[in-house]
Amino acid sequence: MPFIENLLNYSSVSIVGLEKNTGKTECLSYLIKRVPLERIKVAISSIGIDGERIDQVTGTAKPEIFLREGMFFATSEKHYKKREIISEVLDISEETGSLGRIITARALSPGKVLLSGPSATAGMKRWMDEVCLKHRVDLCIIDGALSRMSLASPAMSRSVILTTGAALSANISTLVSKSAYAVELIRLSLTENPALEKLRNIERGIWRVGESGELSEQKISSAMEITKADEELLGNAKALFLTGALTDRFLNHIGEKLITNDAEIIVRDFSKIFLTQNSFRLFIKRGGKIGVLHRSNLIAVCVNPIAPNGLVLDSERLCHELSSVIGSPVYDIIKNSYEA
């Protein structure tokens, strides 16, 4: 697929799903088979558990993970012992989780592994940085977990592959609408506010941005406390920067004033947005603006037309309709895996 070559422009990619069983592991397996190891060094891990034969939640069969010789990987001590591969240990973490320490190893033969890397986003980011530096890895591939959109943050990885499918909705129109909304958030534009670089260094609070980019912190600790804000001060802002989550509650309280003053809401990146689709669309339709400090690079959108209950959607129609809405190709990763 064309996105494989595009992927090589980035040092890391996170595979994130809009729902469980939307094809994240199939997508990971697809990448494992096709990344050009003769050109680059590749490391792989998961923030959940990948490679189990049976899903512990749904009881359905899951695709197993087969690595190629030369690939680097990270998994827990418990799952490293269960590997069916010849490998050499390169590093053992000092931190201990419920599954033991994290083992970083290199595959000396093709074979099967269970992947269960660092369970926290910060721990995964540390591992990615360390493995790239120590072993000169060119590309880290991370399989995400359900509802962990923080993995898709540009602060975490340089690029994103989004998976969606019948497990999210049995109705193609609904599925397309929900998926297109996620894509729209991922593609939000960088703010053009002159305070962009200053804001990138701010870690906490809600900040008012003035006409010339001057900053003043609001006397509230989060968007949840927006009702305590000085409304006159907020009303004169040219932008408001939130370091935390952007929620419906915040938008309902202050959105009208921002629209009236042609002011912008700025968030660190799309993973900080927790707005319902209706709230987001109404705000934008009425002239509201939302910008980000860091923009994500969406490499591909992949679909799994098969739901855990056996429902099978029309793959061609699903890919066509979603592609038409988002303006870029959509791939049936299951179909392509078998055809390739």
pLDDT digits (tens, 9 = 90+) for 14-35: 999 998 888 888 999 999 999 9
Give the residue, 132 or 270, on which the prediction is more confident. Answer: 270
pLDDT tens digit sequence for 49-63: 765 555 555 555 567
For residue 228, how far is the Cα from the chain centroid? 32
Closest CA to 25 of 64, 60, 61, 59: 64
Domain boundaries, the chain: 2-187+297-339, 196-292
The CATH code of domain 2-187+297-339 reads 3.40.50
Query: What do you get for the CA distance between the two ends of the chain, in Å?
Result: 9
In this structure, which amino acid lies at residue 229?
A
Residues of the chain above pLDDT 70, percent: 87
Strand extents, DSSP E, 151-212: 159-165, 206-209
Q: Considering the entire predicted model, what is its pTM?
A: 0.88
The CATH code of domain 196-292 reads 3.40.140
pLDDT tens digit sequence for 296-336: 899 999 999 999 888 999 999 999 999 999 999 999 977 76
